[in-house]
Amino acid sequence: VAPLLKDNFQLPQYLNKTVIDEKFIYNNSFTDFDYDRIVFINGKFSPDHSIIGELPKGVVISSIENAIKNNQELVREYIGKYTKVDNAFVAMNLTYSTDGLFVYLPKGQMLERPIQVFFISGSDEDKVLSIPRSLIIAEDGSSAKFIVNYVGTGSNSYFTNTLTEIHAGTNSNIDYIKLQDEQENSFHIDHTYVYQDKGNIFNHYSFAFGASLSRTDVSSVLDNENIECHFYGIYLGTRKQHIDHHTFVDHAKPNCMSNEVYKGILDDESRGVFNGQIMVRPDAQKTNAYQSNKTILLSDKANINTKPQLEIFANDVKCSHGATIGKLDQEAYFYIRSRGVEDKIAQSMLIHAFAADVIEAVNIEPMRDQLNHKLFEKLNRVEI
């Protein structure tokens, strides 16, 4: 985090307003515009850029600032309930954040349209500190899909420090897709805390492409039976990018399963870090827990630090973890080349095949196509 200390970042309320046009949002969108959309600029809700259609009865999609005024009891009951104040960045967010996403899904409400969220940071005039804090409450039997975009604008460096809390009630179903494509001179740190109740299925996807330094922490507590927790990730690093992923899955009760699949592609002098921890507590018998981290190094100067961890205190479980690091499959590469495929295209095809299972796990079909396009676009900038 030493590079963070070199800049004097300013809170947005003391700065000139950053101007964003519709074309910028369109160019950074991964999906069509028939989805509900809520936009935050430098951590503050932007009603001018947000489009929220007619919602089912009781559903709330708004900013935290508005929710504190209009849904005070809900906010008071859940905010801060699952957050662990165990590092300075979490403490900073809790101290300085004034706005962020708020979503409430009443019992049995199943949203058909995904909710698209934009966190846009940056400025041409100032070095911005963007600190959004979000709260998602999914009551029993509800379901929703979230597409959360982190993007940047302006010529100056900026720092996004974000925190999200998710309550997933009994038999609810939540997909949370995070797309981090910040500018290369920016910094991005994200903490997500999830509470899962009986029968919940929670899918978290992290696609990390941008920022000079980024870190994504996601932790989940499986606090009842028959819960599924799935964490997926793809990270692509070039130049001197530093990309961290830290995960923690807490199996607190029996008869649950978790699955983690993270894949990285690192080039130039980029560096990746994966630290994944699975905790199986004494009461969590019949647990199934799996974790995998695989990384392709495209350069001799790229490196990955990987640390999969299992802590098991129950005796009737099925758990595994593993990590592999290597280069592109040369035999497959020469086979493709022998069919007349150009060098860069052949390598790009192999990388796409490597990442395919993570992208295919995304439950929104148009997004899968656009993620493949995004990966291809990024790889075209890589000297492979």
Q: State the angle between helix axes of 343-360 and 330-337 in degrees (0 to 180), rounded to the nearest 10.
A: 120
Per-residue pLDDT tens over the stretch 213-251: 999 999 999 999 999 999 999 999 999 999 999 999 999
Among 6-15, 277-286, 365-374, the minimum mean pLDDT is found in 6-15
Cross-strand partners of 137: 104, 167
- Share of residues in the chain with pLDDT > 90 (%): 78
Output the CA–CA distances (angstroms, integers) from residue 309 to 94, 205, 329, in the order listed.
29, 20, 27
Integer Cα distance of 109 and 227 in angstroms: 19
Whether residue 384 has pLDDT greater than 50: no
Cross-strand partners of 280: 251, 312
**Residue written as token pair 């400025």:** 123
Integer Cα distance of 160 and 240 in angstroms: 19
Instruction: Write down the mean pLDDT value for the chain.
Output: 93
pTM of the model: 0.95
Eight-class DSSP state of 283: T
**Residue written as token pair 């302006």:** 154
pLDDT of 31: 62
- H or E element, residue 247: strand 242-251
The answer for residues whose C-beta is within 8 angstroms of residue 233's C-beta and 6 or more apart is 205, 206, 207, 208, 216, 245, 261, 262, 263, 358
The answer for residues whose C-beta is within 8 angstroms of residue 356's C-beta and 6 or more apart is none
Eight-class DSSP state of 369: H
Integer Cα distance of 370 and 374 in angstroms: 6
